Amino acid sequence: MTTQGVAILGSTGSIGTTALRVLARHRERFEVRVLTAHANVAVLRQQVSDWSPGFVALVEGDGEVPATWGRGPGSLVEAATRPDTSIVLNAIVGAAGLDATLAALDAGKRVALANKESLVVGGELVGAAARRGGGIVVPVDSEHSAILQCLGVRGAAEVRRLIITASGGPFREWPIDRIRKATAHDALRHPTWSMGRKITVDSATLANKALEVIEAHFLFGLGYDQIEVVVHPQSIVHSMVEFRDGSVLAQLGVPSMELPILYAFSHPERLEDPGIPAFDPIAAARLDFETVRHDVFPCLGLGVAAGKAGGAAPAVFNGANEQAVALFLEGRAPFGAIADAVHEALARHAGLAGDDLPALWHADAAARRTVKEMFR
């Protein structure tokens, strides 16, 4: 068995570090040859000394770094297209990951995609890059990994419906008035998953589920009316597929990203890995399902509507959400204002075209500007 070269973009984050832990158990099969980080020099240095990759990039951040390291956002494209890798794990957070996804697909790579924002902002372009370059997208997101695993060899034509599960986040049972005033400390206490700050806040607003519905639409080629969201507080059933004959398959496991990350590398093969936490149905005991409180969590409906509207609307939704979450985390906007900001940006920038990359970046910037103006 030959080893496959792997690039890890965003190696210092939650997904990046989890991926390195998984890959350390599969050194005969995968070799880490590229590492990139945004600004965390200390962790990146340690990873470089552990893995000796052939290419390293630090996008921002100051301090002395070796002269051989790539610098600036452009270095992500080099990192995504190195000839000695066949797999690129995109674990960057936000729209900042889009260029690398496109470049990797154009270069014919397998993109293990954690960076769902790539598909939300540029879903059509991502599909086109894959067709052009021969690359493939394999999802890392646990829900989409579950769907991929349930689908097996079946295509969209045999699917009636996808049922995406949502933990409901930390505010699942909170009254609406209390949610609107929630602090970053409250929002960062996720009940079932340990993740980066941005996605943890997105899980509290349910914007994350909107991003995931759009992601599923592009990954699996299904209409928005075929994608449903159900709250499942235990995060054991990672999602379900209902086939046209009414049969429903689900994928289950403890809430850990190790399996979806490994599966994104090995799909359709399954690798033995005793390090992945075992599932015990007796310990799980209960699986509850509830409807989403759409009136309390408007970001989900706003995002799905943006997906249906198409054009640049998903990019506006994403850009506004990223900006609002950043302001919330800085303590400059209350939790309830995230949905208000997204709503305002979508209303203000309705109908923008999203046919090419410049148009999408224009929409992204316009959305961010609108949100910044609201909280000046």
344 near Mg ion, rule: CB under 5 A: no
Closest CA to 150 of 247, 225, 234: 247
Contacted by 144, from Mg ion, ligand NAD, none: CB < 5 to 8 Å by type: none
Q: How far apart are CA 198 and CA 114, in angstroms?
A: 13
Contacted by 96, from ligand NAD, Mg ion, none: CB < 5 to 8 Å by type: ligand NAD
Residue closer to ligand NAD by CB (options 146, 344) is 146
Contacted by 341, from Mg ion, ligand NAD, none: CB < 5 to 8 Å by type: none
Q: How far apart are CA 193 and CA 33, in angstroms?
A: 28
Q: How far is the CB of 74 from ligand NAD (least distance, A)?
A: 11
Q: How far apart are CA 72 and CA 132, in angstroms?
A: 26
Quickly count: other Cβ atoms within 10 Å of residue 357's Cβ: 14
Quickly count: other Cβ atoms within 10 Å of residue 78's Cβ: 16
Q: How far apart are CA 152 and CA 148, in angstroms?
A: 7
141 near Mg ion, rule: CB under 5 A: yes
Residue closer to Mg ion by CB (options 103, 240) is 240
Q: How far is the CB of 248 from ligand NAD (least distance, A)?
A: 23
Q: How far is the CB of 37 from ligand NAD (least distance, A)?
A: 4
DSSP three-state, residue 293: coil
Q: How far apart are CA 287 and CA 266, in angstroms?
A: 29
Residue closer to ligand NAD by CB (options 100, 107) is 100
Residue closer to ligand NAD by CB (options 297, 344) is 297
Q: How far is the CB of 18 from ligand NAD (least distance, A)?
A: 7
Closest CA to 211 of 126, 135, 295, 141: 141
Residue closer to Mg ion by CB (options 31, 143) is 143
Q: How many CA atoms, within 13 angstroms, populate the side-chain half-sphere of residue 290?
A: 15
* Residues 99/74, Cβ–Cβ less than 8 Å: no
Residue closer to ligand NAD by CB (options 11, 81) is 11
Amino acid type, 354? G
Q: How far is the CB of 326 from ligand NAD (least distance, A)?
A: 11
Q: How many CA atoms, within 13 angstroms, populate the side-chain half-sphere of residue 209?
A: 29
Q: Distance of CA 252 to CAs 207, 259, 279, 280, Å?
A: 23, 11, 8, 10
Q: How far apart are CA 213 and CA 144, in angstroms?
A: 10
Number of residues that bind Mg ion (CB under 5 A): 2
Contacted by 239, from Mg ion, ligand NAD, none: CB < 5 to 8 Å by type: none
Q: How far is the CB of 80 from ligand NAD (least distance, A)?
A: 11
106 near Mg ion, rule: CB under 5 A: no
| Rg from Cα positions in the chain | 20
Contacted by 15, from Mg ion, ligand NAD, none: CB < 5 to 8 Å by type: ligand NAD
- Give the residue nearest to Mg ion (CB): 141
Residue closer to Mg ion by CB (options 117, 141) is 141
Contacted by 130, from ligand NAD, Mg ion, none: CB < 5 to 8 Å by type: none
Residue closer to Mg ion by CB (options 202, 344) is 202
Query: What residues make contact with ligand NAD under the rule CB under 6 A?
Result: 10-16, 37-38, 40, 59, 91-93, 96, 114-117, 141, 193, 195-196, 198-199, 257
* Residues 230/291, Cβ–Cβ less than 8 Å: yes
Q: How far is the CB of 138 from Mg ion (least distance, A)?
A: 14
- Give the residue nearest to ligand NAD (CB): 13
Q: How far is the CB of 143 from Mg ion (least distance, A)?
A: 5
Sign (positive or negative) of CA dihedral 289, 322, 347, 311: negative
Residue closer to ligand NAD by CB (options 93, 300) is 93
Conformational region of residue 299, where left means phi above 0, alpha means psi within -120 to 50, and beta covers everything else: alpha
Residues that bind Mg ion (CB under 5 A): 141, 143
